[in-house]
């Protein structure tokens, strides 16, 4: 079993084209061509890239690589956008995967319970088989300070190694519970999903199938208030049916955990017994499920100081996720502008080469301090809709990068004004 990377490894994640389910066969067939391709072509680190079709056409030994959708090369000792050198090529670890398209039915309470469920709100739970096509490129597009995502990945891999070795819990404590907390819109839920996807890809030799089960605590608690304790138990009973197979890795994502694990010591005398019951049910279920070595609990919270202490105590790692730094904001903008160029709404221009734009981008980033990733990601659309688009429906019209950056600046100023009005 080799889940953890050696001190210095280069991980190559190879996404096969949809419907390529002959994974074992293909990883044998494509091993050498992938290594040859990476030796021949400079692949930038940390970005999902399509293979160069001209190179595949002109090199018959690489022909089978037509079955590959994209490649992602990562190396923790190098930065995003850097290239591998000759020495790095000796450290390649290949991970082949074929993304799943279906979303599973968890057969829980969404339909059955009836009372309070209005059918069109957020479902109380969701279930995906990973790696899922829904989460492709999610990891690469979540931008944090250097090393944060890698630290979480290493934590999760270490936790799984400890549990696979049946570490004695009376000697070493490891609950396999990771809590991400911080302001809303900072990417906590997305990061948990991306982490589960990463584990599915990196730990495939140990776990044949990875399941992600998301419990939307807020929706579960508000929709089925009086029943939520029972529903938590029912949901965990379903999860146990999947966990029982040791070839399955089950990542349970408890979103906005404070809704289910509200601090019992903060509950007033009038606080409904149901709130107390649901915390007790959750803690009991978590303790029971962790007896299985193939479960990882990922929890998020916008209000960590309202979480029950017993839950907090069980978390092995409590990672604060804050608002993006200026450097992160700039990178988020770069990814969005690159996407706008790829789809052809903005004219293709180099973001780095044109110093004038570089200055504008930095000014944009400075002006965006305090905005969450969620708000940042809305800005290109707002900038386009309000500040650049004419009333013509001109699908082929391309906007100059400089004009678009000006529009983005206007959209930020508008955002700040709106925020002030909401507060006053
Ligand atoms: P949270 O769970 O913290 O409320 P979400 O995971 O729901 O946040 O994220 C909301 C959106 O904002 C997602 O589309 C996510 O991709 C984006 N986002 C948030 N933070 C970042 C970040 N640091 N880098 C890139 N995108 C981000």
Cβ 408 vs Cβ 381: under 8 Å: no
What is the structure's pLDDT at 148? 95
Q: How far is CA 72 from CA 47, 127, 219, 378, in A?
A: 6, 25, 35, 26
Answer whether 300 contacts ligand 1 (Cβ < 6 A).
Answer: yes
Looking at residues 57-80, what average pLDDT do you find? 94
Q: What is the pLDDT of residues 109-150, one digit of tens each?
A: 454 444 444 445 667 889 999 999 999 999 999 999 989 999
pLDDT on residue 114? 43
Report residue 389: phi and psi, to 5°. Answer: -70, 140
What pTM does this model have? 0.92
Q: Which pLDDT does position 222 carry in this prediction? A: 72
Minimum-distance ligand 1 atom for the alpha carbon of 183: 3
In DSSP terms, 300 is beta-bridged to 180
> Mean pLDDT, to the nearest integer, of 138-163?
95
Distance CA 250, CA 50 (A): 30
- Return the closest-CA partner of residue 345 out of 373, 387, 380: 380
Q: What is the pLDDT of residue 35?
A: 97
Q: Where are the domains of the chain?
A: 10-97, 105-320, 326-423
Angle of helix 401-423 relative to helix 355-367, nearest 10 degrees, comes to 10
pLDDT category at 354 given cuts 50, 70, 90 is low
Q: Which atom of ligand 1 is nearest to the CA of 324?
A: 23
Q: Which residue is closest in CA terms to ligand 1's atom 25?
A: 142
Superfamily of domain 105-320 in CATH is P-loop containing nucleotide triphosphate hydrolases (3.40.50.300)
Q: Kindly state if the Cβ of 143 falls inside 6 Å of ligand 1.
A: yes
Tell me if 201 CB under 6 Å of ligand 1: no
| 413 CA to centre of ligand 1 in angstroms | 21
Q: Is the CB of 322 under 6 A from ligand 1?
A: no
Q: What is the pLDDT of residue 408?
A: 94
Four-residue CA torsion sign, 385, 386, 388, 392: positive
Predicted pLDDT of residue 2: 54
Does 310 score more than 90 pLDDT? yes
Determine whether the shortest distance from the Cβ of 323 to ligand 1 is under 6 A.
no
Inter-CA distances, 105 with 99, 118, 244, 347, Å: 18, 18, 18, 43
What confidence tier does 422 reach under pLDDT thresholds 50, 70, 90?
confident
3-state secondary structure of 299: strand
Mean pLDDT of 163-189: 93
Looking at the DSSP bridge assignments, the partners of residue 391 are: none
CA 410 to chain centre: 30
Using the mean position of ligand 1's atoms as its centre, give its distance from the Cα of residue 360 in Å.
24
Q: Find out whether the beta carbon of 299 lies less than 6 Å from any atom of ligand 1.
A: no
Ligand 1 centroid–CA 194 distance in Å is 11
pLDDT for 223: 66
Q: How would residue 271 be classed by pLDDT, with cut points 50, 70 and 90?
A: low
Question: What is the rounded distance in angstroms from the CA atom of residue 260 to the CA atom of residue 255?
Answer: 9
- Asked if residue 62 has pLDDT above 90, the reply is yes
How confident is the model at residue 244, as a pLDDT?
96
> Residue 389: which region, alpha, beta or left (left: phi > 0; alpha: psi -120 to 50)?
beta
Would the pLDDT of 249 be above 70?
Answer: yes
Tokens matching residue 7: 């001190």
Nearest to 228 by CA among 271, 279, 268, 177: 279
């Amino acid at each position: 079993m080799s889940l953890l990377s050696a001190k210095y490894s280069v991980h190559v994640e190879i996404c096969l084209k949809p419907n390529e389910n002959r994974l074992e066969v293909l990883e044998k067939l494509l091993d050498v061509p992938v290594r040859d391709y990476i030796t021949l072509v400079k692949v930038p680190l940390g970005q999902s890239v399509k293979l160069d079709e001209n190179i595949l056409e002109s090199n018959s030994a690489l022909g089978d690589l037509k079955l590959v959708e994209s490649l992602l090369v990562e190396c923790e000792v190098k930065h995003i956008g850097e290239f591998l050198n000759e020495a790095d090529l000796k450290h390649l670890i290949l991970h082949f995967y074929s993304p799943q398209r279906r979303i599973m039915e968890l057969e829980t309470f969404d339909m059955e319970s009836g009372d309070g469920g209005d059918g069109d709100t957020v479902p109380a739970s969701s279930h995906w088989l990973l790696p899922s096509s829904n989460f492709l490129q999610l990891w690469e597009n979540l931008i944090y300070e250097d090393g944060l995502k890698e630290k979480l990945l290493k934590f999760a891999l270490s936790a799984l190694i400890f549990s696979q070795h049946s570490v004695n819990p009376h000697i070493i404590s490891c609950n396999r519970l990771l809590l991400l907390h911080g302001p809303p819109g900072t990417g906590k839920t997305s990061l948990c999903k991306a982490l589960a996807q990463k584990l599915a890809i990196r730990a495939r030799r140990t776990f044949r199938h990875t399941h992600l089960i998301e419990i939307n605590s807020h929706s579960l608690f508000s929709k089925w208030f009086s029943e939520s304790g029972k529903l938590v138990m029912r949901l965990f009973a379903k999860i146990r049916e999947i966990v029982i197979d040791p070839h399955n890795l089950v990542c349970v994502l408890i979103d906005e955990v404070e809704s289910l694990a509200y601090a019992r010591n903060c509950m007033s005398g009038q606080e409904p017994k149901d709130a107390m019951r649901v915390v007790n049910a959750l803690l009991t279920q978590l303790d029971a499920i962790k007896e299985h070595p193939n479960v990882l609990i990922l929890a998020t919270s916008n209000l960590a100081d309202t979480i029950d202490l017993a839950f907090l105590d069980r978390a092995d790692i409590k990672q604060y996720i804050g608002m993006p730094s200026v450097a992160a904001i700039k990178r988020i903008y770069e990814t969005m502008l690159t996407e706008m160029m790829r789809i052809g709404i903005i004219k293709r221009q180099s973001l780095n080469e044109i110093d004038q734009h570089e200055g504008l981008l930095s000014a944009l980033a400075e002006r965006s301090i305090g905005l969450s990733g969620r708000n940042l990601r809305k800005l290109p659309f707002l900038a386009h809709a309000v500040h650049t688009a004419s009333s013509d429906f001109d699908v082929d019209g391309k906007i100059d990068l400089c004009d678009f950056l000006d529009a983005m600046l206007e959209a930020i100023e508008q955002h700040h004004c709106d925020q002030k009005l909401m507060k006053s």
